[in-house]
Amino acid sequence: MEYGATCEYYPLKKVLMFRPGEEVKKITFHSYNELSFRDVVYWKRFQLEHDQFCKLLQNEGIDVVLLNDLLSDEDTKVVNPNSVYTRDSGVVTKAGSLQMRMAHQVRTTEPTLITRGLQKLGVPLLHVISSPGLLEGGDFVYPNDNTLMIGYSTRTNEDGAHQAIKALFDNSIVNTVVLVPLPSWRVHLDGGMMFIDEDLFLYHPNAVETFPVRVHKKNEETRIMPIMDFIDNTFDAEKIPITDNELYLFAANVVCLDKRKCVIYEWNERIIQELKERSVDVLTIQGSELARGGGGPHCMTLPILRQK
């Protein structure tokens, strides 16, 4: 089976998702914060919105593989409400998958389940992030197929990022990795920045510009610079800034199906218009319940295969 997805906007062919079920009932007024949700959700509506998202992707010709169908009965017993956010628990490269190591104890089983599912699909395991490293897939953003940006703050730490850099460089997966320090209030990089094409991206200024980035190239000295200097010198890309309110509403947390074609929550009307004015084909989904979990379309999709 073909696999490998190391660019945000190459045509999406196969994706791993998890259909939420009654485990979402664990989210209560007393537990939602501890279980890393934003609020209490109605599980049936949560599931319905996810089903609608899956159907949209299938209608676009994308092979949607549900992790639920790959798990054993024993595995199913340990799924948690955050399992719907498959992006965080793994990354699929052309050389195999990286198994993440989660920051929150409640999510510690998710990477193992993702790896088992991917292996059943024929995707080998390339590397397992080990202690003291922390690494979550939501901190991976690929501006192109040779460059990876890794955000780090509360969910990903430097040790986890450097483990990933070594595995990626040793297997010639990318030639440049940019470490992006995030403010402590920013959960993942994919909520603060996303590339829609090599020359177009969404970003929240305070989320990604607060600290200088470190640019790593194999066998070269690390360079430190403002993130926009790196982008301007490398991609000459147009940027669309999002506001604090839009950041909270997942305006940058979009998933691309192809170059200048993406899925976004329907309420991000200004950003939708900005994208359409730049010839982006924008598909929208409902997410009044999904958003209560703290994730957007990018979070709920783990690409298995993107083809150039």
Helix (H, G, I), strand (E, B) or coil at 162: helix
pLDDT of residue 77: 86
pLDDT of residue 308: 87
pLDDT of residue 164: 98
pLDDT of residue 236: 87
pLDDT of residue 288: 94
Q: For residues 100 and 12, is the Cβ–Cβ distance under 8 A? A: no
Domain boundaries, the chain: 12-306
What global pTM score does this model have? 0.96
* Domain 12-306 CATH assignment equals 3.40.50.720: no
Give one DSSP letter per residue of 139-164, joined into a string: GEEEEETTEEEEEESSSS-HHHHHHH
- The answer to whether residue 203 scores a pLDDT higher than 90 is yes
- The answer to whether residue 219 scores a pLDDT higher than 90 is no
Mean pLDDT of 91-102: 98
pLDDT of residue 190: 97
| Residue type for position 259 | K
pLDDT of residue 243: 98
Report pLDDT digits (tens) over 254-298. Answer: 999 999 999 999 999 999 999 999 999 999 999 999 999 999 999
- The answer to whether residue 1 scores a pLDDT higher than 90 is no
Report pLDDT digits (tens) over 133-159. Answer: 999 999 999 999 999 999 999 999 999
Q: For residues 200 and 181, is the Cβ–Cβ distance under 8 A? A: no
Report pLDDT digits (tens) over 34-60. Answer: 988 999 999 999 999 999 999 999 999
pLDDT of residue 40: 95
Rounded Cα distance between 20 and 14, Å, is: 19
**Conformational region of residue 35, where left means phi above 0, alpha means psi within -120 to 50, and beta covers everything else:** alpha
